[in-house]
């Protein structure tokens, strides 16, 4: 009988020592916890390389609006202004500033000369 009591007490001690935390998971609610709201912008302008581009966007709930621009190789500045209102989809307007400039093939061929080797 003492062996049965010792065995029972041992099992109880082992069961009590198992103190893993009880985790629970609740399914996400069908409603969003908070409306999305943000605002950002950034730009790059490097006169040496000619890079000029940037982006700005803001969102408040279902309304998102913004614009981005890029300096094209032909000299024009391309601007895109857009908005998204709920499930309306992406609506964009593209515009260009400046005149496209194209160098003739002869001037491109004549303007490049390979570097001369320097021995010293």
Question: Model confidence over 75-86: pLDDT tens digits?
Answer: 899 999 999 988
Question: Model confidence over 40-77: pLDDT tens digits?
Answer: 999 999 988 888 999 999 999 999 999 999 999 898 99
**Helix or strand holding residue 41 (H, E):** strand 37-46
For residue 89, which of 61, 57, 58, 64 has the smallest C-alpha distance? 64
Token digits of residue 78: 């391309």
In the three-class reduction of DSSP (H, G, I as helix; E, B as strand; rest coil), residue 30 is classed as coil
CA distances for 3 relative to 8, 9, 118, angstroms = 8, 10, 98
End-to-end Cα, the chain, rounded Å: 103
What's the whole-model pTM score?
Answer: 0.57
């Amino acid at each position: 009988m003492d062996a049965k009591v010792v065995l029972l007490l041992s099992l109880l001690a082992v069961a009590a020592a198992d103190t893993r935390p009880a985790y629970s998971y609740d399914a996400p609610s069908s409603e969003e916890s908070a409306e999305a709201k943000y605002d950002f912008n950034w730009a790059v302008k490097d006169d040496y390389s000619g890079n000029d581009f940037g982006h700005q966007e803001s969102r408040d709930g279902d309304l998102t609006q913004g614009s981005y621009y890029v300096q094209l190789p032909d000299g024009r500045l391309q601007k895109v202004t857009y908005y998204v209102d709920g499930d309306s989809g992406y609506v964009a307007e593209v515009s260009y500033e400046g005149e496209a400039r194209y160098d003739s093939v002869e001037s491109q061929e004549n303007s490049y000369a390979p570097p001369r080797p320097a021995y010293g």
